[in-house]
Amino acid sequence: MTDSYTRIGVDLRDNVYYAARVLHGTGRLQVKALIRYEKDHLSDHHFLNSGKVILSIPENKAIIKKIKLIDVKIEDVKNRASFELLQSIPDNPDDYYCEILETGIKGIYLGLAAHKKDLESSIIDPFYKAANLIEKPGTQVRGAALGMGYITFCHHESGDLIVLVDIYGAMASICFVYKRNVIGIANIQMKKADITNERRLNSFAVELKTLINYHLNSIFLDNVTLPLSALLISGFDSLDIAVPILKKYFPVTVGQPRLNHGYFAEPDKMAGVPLEKYLVALGLTIN
């Protein structure tokens, strides 16, 4: 019998921590609780105890690289891909955390690396000390967590190629999902956080379309020639304003990720909760 264990994903957005507590090892995953913390009110909260905490890190603190490996034995893939990733870094490879994601495309992997001291000083240690944790948290790139949150906890849209966009402050995490695998991660840094008016939304949509087209061209070179199926947006408080504008630039399904309430321990209590804002936090628990 497999022992159960708890993972706690914590995502900082707009100076508020969005946290998800998920129980593993009892069959289907169970979302036991969702909670929000003001950034300055973390100390000694029981929600963060008795489980491994994983924090999100922005894409601009990570090196994200597509890695192609030909004729490599499956048992050698991780070591070989890690070597290829770290060889592309001009600094000492020992100074970096490294992770390799399978994309579901033969011979193609996604490498993620982040500088250890930078993460510890700017993200890990401040949270660890403020929350009075016993064990230091782990980390995951937001875009990867966004994809894993959708793949694991959401109803899937029809079609095999989905783009997820999560807005937080003046940043947007972007994840490309192909057949239940993360195949690309990107981000947009906006000049201003307020993109609720039509002019700024149009400007954001143009930048987003340019970035998505660039990544789709790269994906097509890997023999994924399927058209984009859907663009799913989270983090917008005014989705009714954003969707019509985004549809002008993206002639596909445009909407929000739809979380599957069957994963929640108490689904009747989820009414009125902005679940999509917890999608990154939920994805962190799959780390």
Number of structural domains (the chain) is 3
Q: Are 41 and 270 in contact (CB under 8 A)?
A: no
| Residues 30 and 18 occupy one common structural domain | yes
| Residues 233 and 108 occupy one common structural domain | no
| Residues 199 and 246 occupy one common structural domain | yes
| Residues 222 and 269 occupy one common structural domain | no
- Would 212 be classed as within a structural domain? yes
pTM of the entire predicted model? 0.94
**30 has a pLDDT exceeding 90:** yes
**133 has a pLDDT exceeding 70:** yes
- Would 148 be classed as within a structural domain? no
Q: Distance between CA atoms of 121 and 85, rounded to whole angstroms?
A: 23
Q: Distance between CA atoms of 169 and 190, rounded to whole angstroms?
A: 9
The three-class DSSP label of residue 138 is strand
| Residues 13 and 139 occupy one common structural domain | yes
- Would 53 be classed as within a structural domain? yes
50: CATH: 3.30.420
| Residues 244 and 274 occupy one common structural domain | no
Q: Are 231 and 246 in contact (CB under 8 A)?
A: yes
| Residues 49 and 11 occupy one common structural domain | yes
pLDDT at 193: 57
Q: Distance between CA atoms of 30 and 26, rounded to whole angstroms?
A: 8
| Residues 183 and 238 occupy one common structural domain | yes
Domain housing 105:
60-116
Query: Percentage of residues in the chain with pLDDT exceeding 90?
Result: 63
Q: Distance between CA atoms of 233 and 276, rounded to whole angstroms?
A: 9
192: CATH: 3.30.420.40
- Would 79 be classed as within a structural domain? yes
| Residues 54 and 68 occupy one common structural domain | no
- Would 68 be classed as within a structural domain? yes
Query: Percentage of residues in the chain with pLDDT exceeding 70?
Result: 97
- The per-residue pLDDT for range 171-202, each reduced to its tens digit, is 999 999 999 999 999 999 887 656 767 888 89
| Residues 132 and 24 occupy one common structural domain | yes
| Residues 194 and 167 occupy one common structural domain | yes
| Residues 9 and 99 occupy one common structural domain | no
- Would 202 be classed as within a structural domain? yes
- Would 107 be classed as within a structural domain? yes
* H-state helical runs in 221-266: 239-249
15-24, 191-200, 219-228: range with lowest mean pLDDT? 191-200
81: CATH: 3.30.1490
- Would 153 be classed as within a structural domain? no
Work out the average pLDDT over 267-271.
79
